[in-house]
């Protein structure tokens, strides 16, 4: 049925172009990173060695870094998705019409760079939140405010990511609510004797979460590799994976460079595994029609 | 009205209105705060309001002088180029992949640049860009950003090219039309909306890009996101706020104008 599709010459050229400018450079670069990490290339290369791998994997820094990244990604997913669900379930009507229906789109225009800057401006010890708490008499001095940025718990990093995720997921759930005809489904459930709570937990929420699964997986992956936000709001140690890789790469100490590449390789392996898992269970690719 | 959600009951209506007001204020706060900070002469701690305003910084930008005007122009040039290239290429390649027998595998490959951290991939790509003499150049930054935006374009359009669109194309051939006719009279008019959305999205991917631009541009290609951090490093929050305003106002305006249209098309990624 789709026989003209792969005889499509411009399309084939497009694919060749994609392979040439994207996939080949990525493949080559990952190969180069591996060669560098085992001492086969680089200014200080001394022949094949597993020393850099052994040294990095022995250190706690990399495990703490991956641990922090996974924790921030998981916390963002849980808080961001829950927040959006709550908004859609509680404020669906104003979100559909009126001024709020317009305003909710505005945060989508905020990039990570600006969100990080804003979060710092609001949550730091001399930030806007501290000013208000002082003005309201809830604090006597700014130092009483617990550290919300550059803190051990990654509160600032998570808050910034959640702030970016909530508007997107609110709009997504709002759209799914209509496209999945949830009003009609819940009315049907009510007719069949289900209570308000049962409708909410056994119809509305499961359907919204199931349909939003690809986006939830992608949110997790994006936060895992986030750079701008932890760069400004994170601590010196541990650092999230992207920040750690960039720091080790950009250092003047060339002996740190193989470690930057090892981190990049481990991150790539993790993301590819997540993508393959998403593909296998249909989470990521279940879109449109099946291939004929 | 459905009873299965937390939707209105009369006694909770004021609370709900208050919550809606709070959400609206939270959506507006970033824009208002950044604008205020960019206009403030000084804003010492613990004041809730700046102690005076100084529009000179905005005047400099609007009259085209200073780093920010140049950064805005450069960001615009890079983002428009990346968006045009990746949308056009993604449109054609997405069609090929969508109808290909090995669609899943090819789509998997298209996802790789789209979902990887640009900074981490950038550290590995740097060697190649250095060897090719592209590091530190605007061309290098455009090429590197296009790699990621192209992946998005393919993923985006592979969903657009579905059996209905294919049937429309086949109908043109059945009625004696050529491939050019199919594109000119059917496919391009049908895909005008998705083309605009993909252009907008890839424009944003490039417009907001920080880490990859910093790496491949080696700090020499000063786009707006880089200027935000550069001003922050100088502890110049007022200029950082102004750079942030310039960064968010164009997309916010576009989103406001095309809100439902843009979101409904881009929602499922």
Residue A285: its pLDDT value, please? 56
Mean pLDDT of chain A: 88
**What percent of chain B shows pLDDT beyond 70?**
91
CB A125 within 8 A of CB A147: yes
Show residues of chain B in contact with A30, CB under 8 Å. Answer: 124
pLDDT tens digits, one per residue of B21-35: 999 999 999 999 999
**What percent of chain A shows pLDDT beyond 90?**
60
Widest distance between CA atoms in chain A: 75
Chain B residue whose CA is closest to A12: B96
Rg (CA), chain B: 23
Give the contacts of A194 (CB within 8 A, at least 6 positions apart).
A202, A203, B4
Q: Which of B181, B223, B203 is nearest to B84 (CA)?
A: B203
Show residues of chain A in contact with B244, CB under 8 Å. Answer: 113-114, 117-118
**What percent of chain B shows pLDDT beyond 90?**
60
Q: Per-residue pLDDT for B152 more than 50?
A: yes
Q: Per-residue pLDDT for A8 more than 80?
A: no
Highest mean pLDDT among A150-154, A245-249, B68-72, B77-81: B77-81
pLDDT tens digits, one per residue of B163-195: 899 999 999 999 999 888 999 999 999 999 899
B210 vs A111: CB contact, 8 Å cut-off? yes
Chain A residue whose CA is closest to B214: A246
Measured at the CA of A236, the angle between CA A75 and CA A130, to 5 degrees, comes to: 65
Reading the block at residue B200, the tokens are 């907008």
Report residue B53: phi and psi, to 5°: -120, 155
Show residues of chain B in contact with A93, CB under 8 Å. Answer: 7-8
* pLDDT band, very low/low/confident/very high, at A14 (cuts 50, 70, 90): confident
Mutate to test the interface with A, among B34, B75, B124, B200 (most CBs of A within 10 A): B124
Over residues B84-90, mean pLDDT: 95
Query: Is residue B268 helix, strand or coil?
Result: coil
ipTM (interface pTM): 0.87
How many Cβ atoms are within 10 Å of A48's Cβ, its own excluded?
Answer: 10
HEC string for chain A:
CCCCHHHCHHHHHHHHHHHHHHHHHHHHHHHHHHHHHCCCCCCCCCCCCCHHHHHHHHCHHHHHHHHHHHHHHHHHHHHHHHHHHHHHHHCHHHHHCCHHHHHCCHHHHCCHHHHHHHHHHHHCCCCHHHHHHHHCCCCCCHHHCCCCCCCCCCHHHHHHHHHHHHHHHHHHHHHHHHHCCHHHHHHHHHHCCCCHHHHHHHHHHHHHHHHCHHHHHHHHHHHHCCCHHHHHHCCCCCCCHHHHHHHHHHCCCHHHHHHHHHHHHHHHHHHHHHHHHHHHCCCCCCCCCCCC
pLDDT tens digits, one per residue of A159-197: 999 999 999 999 999 999 988 899 899 999 999 988 888
Over residues A204-233, mean pLDDT: 93
Q: Which of B231, B198, B216 is nearest to B71 (CA)?
A: B231
How many Cβ atoms are within 10 Å of A252's Cβ, its own excluded?
Answer: 5
Show residues of chain B in contact with A227, CB under 8 Å. Answer: 117-119, 210-211
Show residues of chain A in contact with B241, CB under 8 Å. Answer: 117
Over residues A2-29, mean pLDDT: 80
- The residue written with tokens 């909410």 in the block is A200
Name which of B3, B46, B112 is nearest A134 (Cβ-Cβ): B46
C-alpha A225 chain-centroid distance: 7
pLDDT tens digits, one per residue of A261-292: 999 999 999 999 998 887 777 656 554 433 22
- Cα separation values, A172 from A62, A87, A95, A103, A242, Å: 35, 12, 12, 15, 28
B166 vs A167: CB contact, 8 Å cut-off? no
How many Cβ atoms are within 10 Å of B41's Cβ, its own excluded?
Answer: 12
Give the contacts of A95 (CB within 8 A, at least 6 positions apart).
A87, A88, A101, A104, A170, A174, B20
Residue B203: its pLDDT value, please? 94
A93 vs B5: CB contact, 8 Å cut-off? no
CB B110 within 8 A of CB A26: no
Mutate to test the interface with A, among B25, B117, B264 (most CBs of A within 10 A): B117
- The residue written with tokens 């950003």 in the block is B145
Q: Per-residue pLDDT for B9 more than 60?
A: no
Over residues B41-54, mean pLDDT: 91
A130 vs B124: CB contact, 8 Å cut-off? no
pLDDT tens digits, one per residue of A81-121: 999 999 999 999 899 888 898 899 899 999 999 999 999 99
- How far is the C-alpha of B247 from the C-alpha of B223, rounded, in Å? 10
Residue B23: its pLDDT value, please? 95
Question: Could you tell me which residue, B14 or B130, shows the higher pLDDT?
Answer: B130
pLDDT tens digits, one per residue of A35-50: 999 988 887 777 888 8
């Amino acid at each position: 049925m789709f026989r003209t599709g792969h005889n499509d010459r411009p399309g084939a050229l497009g694919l060749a172009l994609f392979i040439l400018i994207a996939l080949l450079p990525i493949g080559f670069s990952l190969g180069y990173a591996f060669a560098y990490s085992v001492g086969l290339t680089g200014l200080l290369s001394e022949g094949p060695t597993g020393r850099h791998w052994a040294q990095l994997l022995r250190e706690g820094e990399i495990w703490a870094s991956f641990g922090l990244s996974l924790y921030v990604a998981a916390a963002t997913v849980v808080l961001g998705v829950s927040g959006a669900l709550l908004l859609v379930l509680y404020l669906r009507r104003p979100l559909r019409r009126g001024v709020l229906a317009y305003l909710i789109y505005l945060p989508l225009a905020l990039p990570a760079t600006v969100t990080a800057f804003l979060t710092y401006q609001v949550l730091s010890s001399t930030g806007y939140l501290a000013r208000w708490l002082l003005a309201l008499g809830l604090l006597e001095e700014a130092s009483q405010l617990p550290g919300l940025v550059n803190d051990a718990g990654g509160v600032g990093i998570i808050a910034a990511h959640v702030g970016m995720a909530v508007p997107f997921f609110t709009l997504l759930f709002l759209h799914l609510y209509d496209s999945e005809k949830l009003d009609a489904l819940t009315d049907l459930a009510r007719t069949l004797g289900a209570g308000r709570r049962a409708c909410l937990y056994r119809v509305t929420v499961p359907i919204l979460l199931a349909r939003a699964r690809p986006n939830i997986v992608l949110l997790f992956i994006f936060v895992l590799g986030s750079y701008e936000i932890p760069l400004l709001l994170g601590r010196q140690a541990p650092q999230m994976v992207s920040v750690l890789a960039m720091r080790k790469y950009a250092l003047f100490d060339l002996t740190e460079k193989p470690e930057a590449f090892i981190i990049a390789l481990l991150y790539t392996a993790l993301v590819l595994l997540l993508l393959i898992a998403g593909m296998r269970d249909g989470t990521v690719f279940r879109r449109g029609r099946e291939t004929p | 009205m459905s009873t299965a959600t937390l939707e209105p009951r009369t006694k909770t209506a004021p609370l709900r209105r208050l919550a809606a007001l709070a959400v609206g204020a939270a959506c507006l706060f970033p824009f208002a705060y950044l604008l205020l900070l960019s206009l403030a002469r000084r804003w010492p701690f613990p004041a809730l309001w700046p102690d005076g305003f100084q529009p000179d910084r905005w005047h400099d930008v609007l009259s085209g002088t200073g780093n920010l005007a140049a950064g805005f122009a450069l960001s615009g040039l890079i983002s428009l180029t990346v968006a045009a290239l990746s949308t056009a290429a993604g449109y054609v390649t997405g069609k090929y992949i969508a109808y290909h027998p090995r669609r899943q595998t090819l789509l998997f490959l298209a996802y790789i640049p789209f979902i990887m951290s640009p900074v981490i991939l950038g550290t590995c790509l740097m060697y190649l860009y250095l060897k090719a003499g592209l590091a530190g150049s605007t061309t290098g930054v455009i090429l590197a950003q296009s790699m990621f935006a192209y992946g998005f374009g393919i993923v985006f359009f592979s969903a657009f090219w579905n059996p209905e669109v294919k049937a429309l194309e086949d109908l043109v051939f059945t009625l004696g039309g050529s491939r050019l006719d199919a594109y000119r009279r059917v496919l391009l008019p049908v895909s005008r909306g998705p083309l605009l959305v993909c252009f907008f999205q890839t424009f944003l991917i490039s417009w907001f890009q920080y880490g990859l631009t910093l790496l491949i541009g080696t700090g020499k290609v000063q786009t707006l996101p880089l200027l935000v951090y550069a001003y922050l490093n100088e502890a110049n929050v007022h200029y950082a706020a102004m750079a942030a305003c310039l960064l968010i106002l164009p997309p916010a305006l576009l989103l406001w104008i095309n809100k439902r249209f843009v979101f409904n098309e881009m929602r499922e990624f």
